[in-house]
Amino acid sequence: MSSLLAEFDDSGRYLTKERERRLAGELGLRAGQVRVWFQNRRAKLKRAAAAAAGSGAGAGDSTLARQLREQGLYGHGGSGKSNKSS
């Protein structure tokens, strides 16, 4: 677990296929399990940021929400890109 947390912090929250396979081998897990762990961890951060933003807890919380939004991990449509066609 500590290896996953360290890799999550160091990797910028996303893994390459190579790093995913390496971690899986080191931990005795399948690559899919490592991938899902990272997905769940990103979702947990997103939920925490949304809860903090909704509670109005303080400026530090809005900073986290802004950082996550910039990384595409928070909110909907934050990238400004649209797939709609007329």
Residue 81 has pLDDT above 60, yes or no: no
Nearest alpha-carbon partner for 68 in 11, 12, 20: 12
pLDDT value, residue 56: 54
Residue 28, Ramachandran bin (φ over 0: left; ψ between -120 and 50: alpha; else beta):
left
pLDDT value, residue 55: 65
Q: If you average pLDDT over residues 51-65, what whole number do you get?
A: 65
Collapse the DSSP code of 83 into the 3-class scheme (helix H, G, I; strand E, B; otherwise coil) and give the result. Answer: coil
pLDDT value, residue 85: 47
Structural domains in the chain, CATH included, are 2-70 (1.10.10)
Write down the residue that tokens 């897990």 correspond to: 29
Q: If you average pLDDT over residues 25-51, what whole number do you get?
A: 90
